[in-house]
Structure 1
Amino acid sequence: MSTETVEAVEPYRIAEHLSRTIFASLFPHDPENNEKRHAARRSSLAPELLIPPVEAAADVEVDDILVVVEDDAYGNALRTHTARDILMRQARTHLVRVLSKSARSLVVKWVDLPRGNWHINLAEFGTPYDLHEPQRLMLSSTSREIGRLGTVEELRQKLAAHPQFGEWQAAYTAAVAEQEARDAASKAERESEAARLVPLKAAVAGLNKLAGEPLVELTYSNSVIGVTRWLHANDFMRTRVYLAGLNAVGNLPDDQHREALLHLDVIIAAAKGKR
């Protein structure tokens, strides 16, 4: 990982590293450390280094985890690349879980590929994305390759048997707790900001209505400003002068003038608070 002590490393970084390490361990290294073979040398790749191809419905069952290489990106990838290389290095690779099958196609859902994302829960490896709709994969497609990694239960058992699984689980649990704490703090901040904006929005709307025209507005960042620099200058002093002028010429009765000044006080206090 690094020269940092475990205590100095954030839990999410430990979980991220171990998630990738543990998943990669399911697929053996090429003894010659050459994981990008040419097709002409495929016979030198031992079968245990390869992902078994799926060529017919009989090759898979429901709840199998499959690897899909899209757009024939590497040309016979399942025969010329090791499983470890395909799963841990190649960009056009993803995993799916089989929901159902027919003679010509498979209905699948995408699942997480653990190669550098701390939030993947290895204990629940193979759980499909809830937000994704099922996808149909035609077995006759010539634009993609499909390989079988094993059943979801087989793979979960192998992951759980890794000697560092407990260490990953502790780091993952701590990272989730930290994330939940950050989310709670962010939610509290959003709620506080929303509460702050209630009287401010009312003051902006009230002032503009009494003036009969927009004098102040909220920006996209929820700061309040004058619609012109002149009105905004010196803590809205000229807005106060403008209101006094409307009152003086009879366009803003005394009671409405007082109400407008109350709105302006709320606006000025909010503007100062945002600095």
Structure 2
Amino acid sequence: MVNKLWRACLRHIAPCECQFCGQPSQRDVALCSNCQSDLPANRGGCPICAEPLALSAHNPHPQSSLQAQPCGRCQQSTPPYQQALAPWLYRYPVDDLIKQLKYQRRLDHLPTLAALLQKDITASLEQHGRPDRLLPVPLHWRRLWRRGFNQAELLALQLTKDPELRPWQLRIDAQLCRRPQPTPALEGLDRAERARCMRAAFTTRARIDGEYVVIVDDVMTSGATATALSRVLLAQGARRVDVWCCARTAVQ
């Protein structure tokens, strides 16, 4: 209660401006509710892999992801993770927020991206309970050295600081898995090529028998990274693996 009153006072004394419309956001992040409602939501995505499902002339308004049927790929071959949470489409301006974070060091976007995840993560926590560990997708040390930071780890850290998620006491374990070998850039590769590149990309440092682990990343494309990492975690004893990411894009 004290924290909520303090944040309300701060919003009154020094209102945060929305980075899209420039008006006071009435929140602790630079994004107002009106602009957030205009962002490209991933409504009707596959309830397992969160891939956007195609619209048809007979169904221009898709069901929510909780009501939708699994996509054809997931029906043919269920991914090793239980559920991917990706509430937004990797389209403008969500893609700009993520690209500017990764390539222009716009770390000030982290609270906004965490806020975009908060509602869906809260729903997941209420349904499945608190995970034992949040696992940011590891980077190979060379890419980490060039970039200077792991955006997935910073996003996971921001989630633990989010006022609405703080009571859940989410715990990060960035050392659980490592990426011992560099993998080529996946951009421009098709789904099969991405899967081959990621097949043996990760190793784990310890057994995690009976644990619920959530993989955290910024964007999910083909799901090759999440699939490879989930298989390693399940092989080490995890009972459930989910994926939390900001945005989802489709790959043919």
| Interval containing the TM-score (normalised by the shorter chain) | under 0.3
Q: Which has the higher helix share?
A: 1
Higher RCO (CA 8 Å, separation ≥ 6 residues): 2
TM-score (ref. length: structure 1) = 0.24
Which structure has the larger Rg?
Answer: 1
